[in-house]
Each structure stands twice: as structure tokens, then as C-alpha cells.
Chain A
Amino acid sequence: MMAHATEQSTVAAQTETPPRRRHVLDLDDFSRNEITALLDSAEAMHELLSRSIKKAPSLRGKVVLTLFLEPSTRTRVSFEQAGKMLSADVINISGSGSSAEKGESLLNTALTLQAMHADLIVIRSPHSGAPYFLARNLQRMGVVNAGDGRHAHPTQALLDLMTMRHHVGGLEGKRVVIVGDVLHSRVARSDVFGLHALGASVVLCGPPTLIPLDLLHKGEGDSLPDVSVEHDLDRAIEDADAVIALRIQQERQGAGMLPSMREYTRRWQVTEARYRRAKPGALLMHPGPMNEGVEIASSLAHGPGSQIEEQVTNGVAVRMALLYQLLTGGQEEAAE
């Protein structure tokens, strides 16, 4: 039977930092303290990355599985590298070539992997909520969400927060613009919860076809905390401290959601002229993979304001901090 109601809910309704987190499903249950502590830890991990010998023994003997049921390069490699640098054994499973391709259900795949005594599973799924489904069905294995459908991508949000905090300092009262395909973006949703926890405000900007309807109309209550919607990027970007441009997928045009990439670029590309309306030195970010010359003008994407490569580096650091926290509780177990 599905262990629905009986499951003790580690993520529900807490406001204080929990004693020991088992799962990371989204940032909606992270307090400011928990995020801050994690980012501090990530700074230390970042330092390890710049050493010539990039290895620490902290997670020796721990097994981390990555189950990616959707194409991904940076996130999967980032988790793998993060685990290996801390000496965990990292085993990668992809959708194709695994039993998922033979029609095995996600539940049975996960139960099988749990039976092999892995400590943690990192999952990427095209289905919103898949990590919650795993978390309530796996009794002995922690779950980390590496992106589920259009719902959440908490480690991407953490690396975005780390990048912003590094350059801007405290995020309280800061103004962040997220522009592009908000409707389908798990990055946008998790960014909003993380930024909200740290006291920043968010402006969502994009075509009306790519903004969730409830936010467009402000009808039945807000599904995201403290966001505003502004379709005109010239206005949205005014005095912004940071701009996050989301990837636009070519398929949206075929699905009738966008007139053309040309029209999208004309209205929602972060151009030099638009960037000048933001605060001087405003950060320019993109979760990748970027369409060159679409979401961000090429000159900007490769210019001094761009944090895109630093985001990737911070991604490894944040995931190291997260794996360390989840697998040791922040305290290395004494060697036998």
C-alpha cells in the first residue's frame, strides 16, 4: 500500500530548521537560517574546488544514485562531481538503457535501488511531483530533487542564491527579475521560494501565454509568494539587482504558445539597452543551456555582468554542501 497519510512529514509545516533533513524536494520548506547555513558551507566547498587535489574523504562509504529520466548534462555531472569530490560512490542511471525503458514503473525501480542499500537518490523526472512520490514510498533512502517537470529545481535555486549572495551581499530588499517561460519553469518556482526566504522580491516577466494563469489574473490566491507580473521587460528590469533569463524552448512556437522566436527575441531578450536600465553592475544569470542570441544578447552573455559560468561552478559547490549535510547531518562520522 502507498504509505500516504501515515508517513511522518519531514517537510510539512515547520518553520525552524529541522534537526536532520532526509529529503530536499523544493526550497518551500527551507528557512532563511537553513539556506544561509547551506550557502556558508557551499563557500567552504568552493574553496576545495580551487585546490589542485580536489578530494575530501567526508562521504567515503556512502552511495549516491542519480536517476535521470530526462536529458541533462550539467545537473547530472554536477551532482556526480560533487559526490566524487567528497569520496562518495556515485552511480548514474539514465532512462534509456535502464529497466525504465523496459516499462518498469518508477516505484519498482526505486524500491529495487533502495534494496541495494544506496543512501541517497538524486532524481530528475519530466513529471511534477515525482520526487514526492518517491520520498513517501522510500523508507530508507533520502531523495534529492534534481528537477521535476515544471514544479521545482531546488539545487538550481540554491546555486542562483549563492551566486547572487556572493556579489550582492545580503538579499533582503533586493529586486530580481525572472524573464522568459515562467509557466514551464521549475527554476523560476524554486528561485521564487528561495528569494522569498531571503527577503528579496521577484518580478516575473514574459509572454502572457507563458505566465501561469492564476498569477496573470490574481484570482484565487497566489500560488507563489510575493511575486508581481510585468509583461514589459523595459519596465520590469528598471533598477533590478539581478536578472535571470530562462531558457526558451523552440517547441513552444510549434505548440502555438509563441508567434515566433524572432518576436520573442524582440520583446523579451535582455539587450544592451534594457540591461542599462537595471542597477549598474546588475547580475545576469541563466540556468542553461542557453540559446545563443535569444534569451540574452550575445555581447552581454559573454560580457562582464554575466555570471553564467560562475553559476556552474557554484552548482558543484552547493551540491557538495547539500550531499554533505544530508549524508552526515553536518558532522563527519568518526572513522572506524
Chain B
Amino acid sequence: MSRPILITGARVIDPVSGSDRTGDLFMRDGVIADAPDATPGDALVVDGKGLVAAPGFIDLHTHLREPGFEDKESIETGTAAAAAGGFTTVCAMPNTSPAIDTAAVVDFITHRAREAGPVRVLAFGAVSRGRKGVELTDMEELARAGVVGFTDDGSPVATGLLMEHALLYAGELGLPVMDHCEDHSITAGLGMHEGAVASRLGLAGYPSAAEESLVARDIALLGLTGGHFHVAHVSTAGGVEMVRNAKGRGLRVTAEVTPNHLTMTDEWVLGVNGSASGIARPLSLSAYETRAKVSPPLRSRSDRDALVEGLRDGTIDAVATDHAPHTFGDKATPFDEAAVGISTLETAFGSLMSLVRAGAIDLPTLVARLTLGPASVLGERFANLASLAVGTPADIVLFDPEERWVVDVSRFASKGKNTPLAGQTLQGRVRMTIAGGEVAFREAGQ
């Protein structure tokens, strides 16, 4: 059994109880415990002064790539990256090879995750067999193997009819259907927001309407079927508004947003990291920045502002990373040919803290959107993952909200070095991650 751990003098935020106090946090035997009068001799004592302790972050949307794409990431490296980013639970996406469409693949992932270390790996199952958009997977068998929801992420649920059936069948199992809302008939898989920047670069654009039309389809179907629809990586002001409206009507719809869409815009593709350079100026050699190519694409400033507001007011339940590691070669191409996605786990918290510093969201709310929010999407049985009550799992993140650090991708635990934040300074850093009562990550010097 692991050593007891005592964190002393930290600001302790518990999103479930709503408490926000300065004090100690003690854990032993893998759970939160009452602090004993005398610290056990074998305890690891961590000075939490100036730091914040909170439940470990929960990521609803992680591409671990294994099985099938181990050159991009493995369960071992992906969970190490999660721990480095303060995440103690990640939900593996099923667009692997083979897809997570049978219990055997779920078992494989569970087994590999147990070998890899203490971070909790949950899995989403595919909606359709082979993610081909035709037949439903054996959803009940997948549920018994442990999947926490269904998605064909990477692609949308191919047809309205399939989505209708998925909502009905998964709804009866009490599990959400997460949809990657992208009308392929409009986008043909593009990685650039339709707008002036795309036009300036001569790139075909993926308009906001291509997301909004599928969000609208799925919400309309939800009204018909009941069940639980979860919007993956919402990126548009229109999408946020539709979710707000549907929640107002009492539908079981939830939504997530990525740190990238909350903090970056399509201007990042100009390669100057969003500095207001003006698109009519000469393009720099860094233009066509493939590391800023992601699906859905980084959108306009007004979309970004609407996403931040949606996160603040609770329309958007959770921050999810959509961590999408790729190899060097996947991105070392002309923009059209580059893979979509950003390696996000290890920068998520640092970039989100910019929202707190800008006054757009307060720290306890941000912590809640990284813990209680995603736990609620997963359902009541996961609520204890976001709690610091005695007896709940000892999944803890300890972070310094003020520390400045430079993103050095060569130090990433993830195999994916693909982030446009490389070389940038972030403020707010994870110092330690404890998962199941064990130290899963510890920043040097802590």
C-alpha cells in the first residue's frame, strides 16, 4: 500500500461541497481521510503554501491512440501526459484501430491502463461498428465492459436516423451519446474556420454553420427520443446558444469546450500566435501554421468570447482537452495535408488560467468545470471523483496559480509535440498530481 500523504497549508477547493478554505489535506489507503492528530512517520508531507489543492481534473475527451496509432501516443505516454497536466481521469476516444467497438478492445485498454500507472482511464465506445456509421455497436455489452458513453468522434454520427437510434438505445442504458457535430457535406474534413483569415490564406473554410446544423439536428432528435446528448468540443457562438436554449427547455443536453477554442482564434493559423497583425499585412514565413490546425477549427474572436461566457454561466458543463497527439511528420506538411489536432493535456491548465487572470471566470468555477462538470456529464456514480469528502478517492491536483513557465515540448510526457503554444510562456502550473493515493506526477523541485 502506498504511503499516506499530507498536504499542508494549501488553498483547498472542493467543488462538490463548495468549500474554499486554507488548510491541510490528508489521504491514506487511496482515499481522502481525516487528518490524524500526529502525522504518521511514513507520511509524505507536502508543503502546500501558496498552492491550490483540488480534486484531480477529469478529461472527457482524450485521444490515447492505442491500439493502432502508437507512433502518435500510447496509453502509457498519454496517461503520463495526463498526470503532468493535473488530470487523474481521462476518457479514451474510440477512434483507434481497431475502434473501441467490442468488449475485447475495452478490456485491452483497461488492462494496459492498469499496467501504465495510477491515472484512471475510462473509455467511450463507438456508436457504430467500425465507426462506419451504419450499424449500432453492441452497446449493452460495451456498457458491461465499462464504457461511459458512446461516440464516433473524429466523425459525426453519420445520419440522423442512426443518431435517433443511438440516443434511444444508449438512453435506456443511462449513457450519453457524444457527437462530433460536423456536417461533412459542407466541410469535407477541413481544418480552417470560414472567414477572412481563410480567405486571406486561400484555404477552403469550415463554416460555423457546419457545426450548428448538426447541433440543431441532434437537439431536435433528443426532443423526440429522450436520452442524453453530449456536444463534443463546441466551437461556435451559435452552438452555445442552442445548448443554452435546449437546457432551458429541460432537455438532457451537455457540452464541453477545449482550452484551445477558449484561448485561441483562427488568426493563430497566420503563425503569429494571435497577435493583432491584421490580415492585409504581408504573410510571414510562419503562416499556414499546421500546429494550429484542429477540428473543429479555431474560430473567430466573437465565437471565443461566447465560449468563455458559456463556460462561465454553466451552459458548457466541462472543459475537455480533445488531446490529439500527432507525429512530427503528420504536421510537417502543407496545411491542407496536415493532420488535425493539438497535443493539449500538458498545457490545458496553464492556458485556462489566462481566463482567470483576465477576470473572465473565477478560479473555483474553472476548477468545477474541470472536475464536477465532467463528472456530472458521466453521471451520478462518478460524482465522488470531484469531491474532497472523507472516503472519496485520493485524486488530487496541486497547482501554483501564479508560476510562469515556458512550454518546452521536448519535455512533454506525451509523444505529441504538436502545439502552437511551443515556446510560449504560460502562467499557472501543475506542481503535483496524486491519483488513487499515489504520486502520479511531481514537478521537479516540488
Give A contacts to B, CB under 8 Å: 1-2, 4-5, 7, 9-14, 23, 25-26, 28-29, 105-107, 125-130, 132-133, 135-137, 148-152, 186, 189, 212-215, 219-225
CA distance A186 to B202 in the complex (A): 8
Enumerate chain A residues within 8 angstroms of B280, measured Cβ to Cβ: 221-225
Question: What is the distance, in angstroms, from A252's C-beta to the closest C-beta of chain B?
Answer: 14
B378 at the interface (CB under 8 A from A): no
CB-based nearest A residue for B288: A129
CB-based nearest A residue for B417: A1
Contact yes or no, A107 B332, CB < 8 A? yes
Contact yes or no, A13 B196, CB < 8 A? no
Question: What is the distance, in angstroms, from A98's C-beta to the closest C-beta of chain B?
Answer: 16
Contact yes or no, A220 B300, CB < 8 A? yes
Query: Pick the contact of A105 from B284, B333, B423 — CB < 8 Å?
Result: B333
Q: Given the known inter-chain contacts A212-B199, A213-B199, A220-B195, please indicate yes or no for A9 contacting B284, CB distance below 8 A.
A: yes
Enumerate chain B residues within 8 angstroms of A149, measured Cβ to Cβ: 202-203, 336
Contact yes or no, A132 B199, CB < 8 A? no
Question: What is the distance, in angstroms, from B406's C-beta to the closest C-beta of chain A?
Answer: 12
A12-B282, A28-B281 given. 14 additional CB < 8 A pairs? A5-B422, A28-B283, A105-B329, A106-B334, A127-B336, A129-B287, A132-B288, A133-B334, A150-B204, A151-B203, A189-B202, A213-B195, A221-B196, A223-B199
Enumerate chain A residues within 8 angstroms of B291, measured Cβ to Cβ: 4
Query: Pick the contact of A214 from B196, B286, B334, B337 — CB < 8 Å?
Result: B196
CB-based nearest B residue for A218: B196
Query: Pick the contact of A136 from B197, B198, B285, B335 — CB < 8 Å?
Result: B285
Q: Given the known inter-chain contacts A13-B282, A136-B285, A220-B300, please indicate yes or no for A128 contacting B335, CB distance below 8 A.
A: yes
Question: What is the distance, in angstroms, from B206's C-beta to the closest C-beta of chain A?
Answer: 12
Enumerate chain A residues within 8 angstroms of B346, measured Cβ to Cβ: none
Enumerate chain B residues within 8 angstroms of A223, measured Cβ to Cβ: 196-197, 199-200, 279-280
CA distance A7 to B271 in the complex (A): 12
Enumerate chain A residues within 8 angstroms of B300, measured Cβ to Cβ: 220
B328 at the interface (CB under 8 A from A): yes
Interface of B is mostly: loop
Contact yes or no, A13 B285, CB < 8 A? no
Contact yes or no, A28 B334, CB < 8 A? no
B390 at the interface (CB under 8 A from A): no
Chain B contact residue count (CB 8 A cutoff): 39
A to B CB contacts below 8 Å, 12 in the list: A2-B328, A9-B285, A11-B285, A13-B281, A13-B284, A126-B336, A127-B335, A128-B288, A150-B202, A151-B201, A221-B196, A224-B199
CA distance A5 to B271 in the complex (A): 8
CB-based nearest A residue for B289: A4
B416 at the interface (CB under 8 A from A): no
Contact yes or no, A10 B285, CB < 8 A? yes
Question: What is the distance, in angstroms, from A117's C-beta to the closest C-beta of chain B?
Answer: 22
CA distance A298 to B407 in the complex (A): 61
Q: Given the known inter-chain contacts A105-B329, A105-B333, A149-B336, please indicate yes or no for A129 contacting B285, CB distance below 8 A.
A: no
Contact yes or no, B195 A132, CB < 8 A? no
Enumerate chain B residues within 8 angstroms of A7, measured Cβ to Cβ: 285-286
Enumerate chain A residues within 8 angstroms of B285, measured Cβ to Cβ: 7, 9-12, 23, 132, 135-136
Q: Given the known inter-chain contacts A136-B286, A213-B205, please indicate yes or no for A125 contacting B328, CB distance below 8 A.
A: no
B317 at the interface (CB under 8 A from A): no
CA distance A13 to B278 in the complex (A): 11
Contact yes or no, B333 A148, CB < 8 A? no
Enumerate chain B residues within 8 angstroms of A212, measured Cβ to Cβ: 199
CA distance A221 to B196 in the complex (A): 7
Question: What is the distance, in angstroms, from B75's C-beta to the closest C-beta of chain A?
Answer: 26
Contact yes or no, B196 A1, CB < 8 A? no
CA distance A28 to B281 in the complex (A): 7
Q: Given the known inter-chain contacts A128-B201, A133-B333, A149-B202, please indicate yes or no for A5 contacting B196, CB distance below 8 A.
A: no
Enumerate chain B residues within 8 angstroms of A11, measured Cβ to Cβ: 282-285
CA distance A23 to B282 in the complex (A): 13
B182 at the interface (CB under 8 A from A): no
CB-based nearest A residue for B284: A12
Contact yes or no, B202 A128, CB < 8 A? yes
CA distance A130 to B332 in the complex (A): 11
B211 at the interface (CB under 8 A from A): no
CA distance A187 to B336 in the complex (A): 19
Question: What is the distance, in angstroms, from B202's C-beta to the closest C-beta of chain A?
Answer: 3
Tell me the chain B residues, 199-236 only, with Cβ under 8 Å from chain A: 199-205, 207
Query: Pick the contact of A127 from B205, B207, B282, B337 — CB < 8 Å?
Result: B337
CA distance A32 to B336 in the complex (A): 32
Q: Given the known inter-chain contacts A2-B332, A4-B271, A213-B194, please indicate yes or no for A9 contacting B286, CB distance below 8 A.
A: yes
Contact yes or no, A129 B282, CB < 8 A? no
Question: What is the distance, in angstroms, from A103's C-beta to the closest C-beta of chain B?
Answer: 11
Enumerate chain A residues within 8 angstroms of B271, measured Cβ to Cβ: 4
Contact yes or no, B333 A129, CB < 8 A? no
Enumerate chain A residues within 8 angstroms of B336, measured Cβ to Cβ: 126-129, 149
